[in-house]
Chain A
Amino acid sequence: MKLTLKIWRQPDAASKGAMHTYEVDEVTGDMSFLEMLDVLNEQLNVKGEDPVAFDSDCREGICGTCGLMINGQAHGPEVTTTCQLHMRSFNDGDEIVIEPWRSDAFPVIKDLVVDRGAFDRIIQAGGFISVNTGSAPEAHSVPVPREDATRAFDAATCIGCGACVAACPNGSAVLFMGAKITHLGELPQGQPERDDRVVSMVAQHDHEGFGGCTNIGECVAACPKEIPFDVISRLNWDLHQAMRHGH
């Protein structure tokens, strides 16, 4: 198939960006979306034009590195990561608009590559259980009800790609943050730091410039790992409890 691509090009963080139009030919349905961009880049290289910069690494949907706004949707029309989106989801002659994640908290580095360092800093604020290497008790000393472990796992499958932020009209990262709060809060090991964790993470989230949550739900629709909406309720509940405990 033959496609028209409208791609955001921006040489670096300081420069102004603009949409550029490219034609790409001989695209097959078996190509992933990123392989289609590889083909474009090979063409650009031959012509002596700077290839389009975009992030990807594992290309099997688990590392969370890739992520593009495709026709206005984070990761495109399917519920999956950009690397697992295949061109059979498009038709010959389609025009596809490709932009980087849109959020003040994720500044553009170049073209379609953004800086998601804010996510690391939110985890640094409290997204962990404080246990030094070697000081752990025997694993079977604390049983965990299977349902709790399952819920913790479901939340822990978040890949930190940032689609939730890109999809949110407010640019909020509460789905990402709620997933971590839920993952650790469901487990007995996560209880001692539960209040501190939520308070510190939320403070960092706001400090980074992410917006507030108004329960729109775009984040859940865009999430390639289908993190459930109720992790946000869990976050709010934990924050409320922490306040009551005097934080």
Chain B
Amino acid sequence: MTDMPDTTLTPEPSHDAPGAHGDDAVGYYRPGDPVADAKAPDGPVADRWNTRKFEARLVNPSNRRKLDVIIIGTGLAGGAAAATLGEAGYNVKSFCYQDSPRRAHSIAAQGGINAAKNYKEDGDSVYRLFYDTVKGGDYRSRESNVYRLSEVSANIIDQCVAQGVPFAREYGGLLDNRSFGGVQVSRTFYARGQTGQQLLIGAYQAMERQVAAGTVEQYTRHEMLELIVADGRARGIIARDMVTGEIQTHLADVVVLASGGYGNVFYLSTNAMGSNVTASWRAHRKGAYFANPCYTQIHPTCIPVSGAHQSKLTLMSESLRNDGRIWVPKNKADCDKDPRTIPEEDRDYYLERIYPSFGNLVPRDIASRGAKNVCDEGRGVGPEVDGVRRGVYLDFKDSIGRLGEDAVREKYGNLFDMYLRITGENPYEVPMRIYPAVHYTMGGLWVDYDLQSSIPGLFVAGEANFSDHGANRLGASALMQGLADGYFVLPQTIRDYLADGPFEKIAEDHPSVVEAKKSVEDRVAHFLSTNGTRSVDSYHRELGNIMWEYCGMERTADGLKKAIDLIRSLREDFWRNVKVLGTADSLNQSLEKAGRVADFFELGELMCIDALNRRESCGGHFRAESQTEDGEALRHDDHFAYVAAWEFAGDGELPVLHKEDLVYTAIEMKQRSYK
């Protein structure tokens, strides 16, 4: 099969002692030329966006209808971009794998959306939001992009209110805010615990309005399976109609990927079942650099796995840690007992013990690793899954005693109800059980200041790109970035590219189109003819276990190398032995999943290589070799203050590492401390 990756790759011999120069990944990659963003203007960071908007060329309104734009994904970034570009008069084709654009996974975001409105007059400003975001990202994001994000944040709230998004309001009728994720100002706008839903419905309605106006054509239950690159430009996609199985060619002047994150490489995550990396990965294989794939965010307060059948994980707001106390039994023998019968002296409130000043409110990554460590020691609680209990107690008994059950219900009632529904246990009576889960991926396709990837004419927005969150994302910033990209950034920058269009029409028999279409058809045919013995899900689950074990909360050089070997052999087995039933010309959910899992295998390997290369701990990436005596993450700005932008060099070839140096002119790099 033409598309079957060569998995017989062996590392080249190392010439350096591993780790001597922080280069643990010797033999797993090839160094490439540095890469730089050429689009952000020089000058003070606060002036760059205005300058760029002025410099970006305009497209005459009468020319816009001659320009075709393809947008993949209908979440906050894709939906907002489709609406806005449609309003501007471009011809937009919008694709999503769901049955309606309104289902995109932005809908599941709970907490809120940040904006530097300073309505509370509490010292917030564009600069402070910028500062908090760069710091929260552990100084691994690009300064220009983050400043712009903060700058446009206020416009987002105006836009959403005008669309009818029902944000929470005060009695006077003005918008309410709350403080979120440990920041000291109140800048988070919210709509109860359903902010993502309300913002997405706003973007969806704006987009549907353009569908009615004839500027946007929507393709639901369509999945992009290949990018068409012709004469050095992204010119279209190959998509599969998931209902009829038809393999379609869609050509355009520009392609936008807003296809979300890749957390489902871990099999279990808080992502939707269908969330996948295929659109991004197919673009990566066609030349788009993939930046910082190892940066993943793991959220400490999710409902634990209840058995091998588990298909996804559910997040609960981490505000629960404000009043709940986290503990496990001191003795392994107590782990299967009713927690209410375990006396105080036999409980280990390990976060309070290890971090006496912050206690249960330590940052997400420390709380997550703490839970992993006690479970690895065999002191986890809840059901045994694959021989290990993976859960810790989050106990509200003291709070209920102190504040009363009504006060606790007032604050957390909806979360307690959700917990009861999923677990069947009443958290007012029995301690909750929690465990960390993969939640968000900061890495993604590399983009410049214009959100253009390393392929001309391919733009990337939202979680699918890498630029704004560095090594860790602040709470309530994902919604902000998705909408900033979709409403305010991409529509302004894409016009500079489109000013050179319309590009020469390409025909369906252009060699690049023929090649792209054939590779998709071959892949479909391969999966349906393999007739092996194992289901796609079983491979996905096993890949997820490898990623979670070795490329999850804590990573080591040895573990990552082991993971790479395991992934390669599992991938080889997958291509030989996967069993996909059904036909190509109808709805076939196993076939859809097979293509996605095939791409997750390749991504998983690159994530491990990236994590292996980055011998430092920063944000969501924790290398056991790089920690302080207290077990805190230790950055190495001297070696790693760069974006790792990976180039695909071909099946069986080592990926090529291009480094983009991170230069801060408006902010000073500091090491975090929780002492």
Chain A residues engaging chain B, CB cutoff 8 angstroms: 11-12, 28-32, 34-36, 38-39, 42, 45-46, 48-51, 53, 55-60, 62-65, 80, 84, 86, 88, 109-110, 113, 115-117, 119-120, 123-125, 127-140, 142-146, 149-150, 152-153, 156-157, 159-160, 183-184, 187, 189-190
- Interface-forming stretch among B323-331, B416-424, B634-642? B416-424
Count residues of B near A (Cβ-Cβ below 8 Å). 79
- B residues less than 8 Å from A30 (CB atoms): 306-307, 383, 423-424
Known A117-B220, A120-B218; judge A133-B159 contact (CB<8 A): yes
Whether the Cβ atoms of A187 and B166 lie closer than 8 Å is yes
Q: Is the CB of A128 within 8 A of B163?
A: yes
Indicate if B188 sits at the interface (CB-CB under 8 A): no
CB-defined contacts of B166 to chain A, threshold 8 Å:
149-150, 152-153, 156, 183, 187
Interchain CA distance A11-B585 in the complex, whole Å = 11
Q: Which residue of B lies closest to A56 (CB)?
A: B273
Interface residue from B172, B220, B311, B581 paired with A51 (Cβ < 8 Å): B581
A-B contact pairs, 26 of them (CB 8 A): A12-B586, A30-B306, A30-B424, A49-B581, A57-B103, A58-B107, A58-B272, A65-B99, A80-B421, A115-B99, A116-B99, A116-B100, A117-B220, A120-B211, A120-B218, A128-B205, A129-B163, A131-B206, A138-B158, A143-B174, A144-B173, A146-B170, A146-B173, A153-B191, A160-B102, A183-B164
Picked from A46, A58, A136, the residue with its CB within 8 Å of the CB of B105 is: A58
Known A-B contacts A149-B168, A149-B169; A189 and B163 likewise in contact (beta carbons under 8 Å):
yes
Check A137 against B105 for contact (C-beta < 8 Å).
no
Interchain Cβ contacts within 8 Å, total number: 212
Tell me whether B462 is interfacial, beta carbon within 8 Å: no
- Which B residues lie within 8 Å of A132 (CB)? 84, 87
User: Which of A60, A124, A139 is close to B161, meaning CB atoms less than 8 Å apart?
Assistant: A139
Interface string of B394-424 (1 = CB under 8 A from A): 0000000000000000000000000001111
Residue of A nearest to B589 (CB): A53
Interface centre among B161, B220, B274 (most CB of A within 10 A): B161
> CB distance A143 to B587 under 8 Å?
no
Closest residue on chain A to residue B205 by CB atoms: A128
- B358 CB within 8 Å of chain A: no
* Cβ A140 vs Cβ B424 within 8 A: no
Nearest A residue (CB) for B207: A128
CB proximity of B51 to chain A, nearest CB, Å:
18
Q: Does B309 contact A (CB under 8 A)?
A: yes
**B204, chain A: closest CB distance, angstroms:** 7
Q: Which residues of A contact B161 (CB under 8 A)?
A: 136, 139, 142, 189
Excluding A139-B162, A160-B102, 9 further A-B contacts by CB distance (< 8 Å) are A31-B307, A51-B582, A124-B209, A128-B208, A131-B163, A140-B174, A143-B173, A146-B171, A187-B164
CB distance from B111 to the nearest CB of A (A): 13
Bound Cα distance A190, B159 (Å): 14
**Does B587 contact A57, Cβ atoms closer than 8 Å?**
no
Docked Cα-Cα span, A115 to B537, in Å, equals 25
Taking CB atoms, residues of chain B closer than 8 Å to A139 are 117, 157-158, 161-162, 175
Q: Does B310 contact A (CB under 8 A)?
A: yes
- Tell whether B314 is near chain A: CB-to-CB under 8 Å: yes
Are A133 and B204 in contact, with the CB atoms below 8 A? no
- Tell me whether B119 is interfacial, beta carbon within 8 Å: yes
Q: Which residue of A lies closest to B582 (CB)?
A: A50
- Chain A residues closer than 8 Å to B488, beta-carbon distance: 133-134
Chain A interface: which of B32-40, B193-201, B563-571?
Answer: B193-201
A137 and B164 contact, Cβ closer than 8 Å, known pairs A12-B586, A29-B424, A160-B102: no
Are B272 and A63 in contact, CB atoms less than 8 angstroms apart? yes
Q: Closest CB of chain A to B542's CB: distance in Å?
A: 14
Q: Is B351 an interface residue (CB 8 A)?
A: no
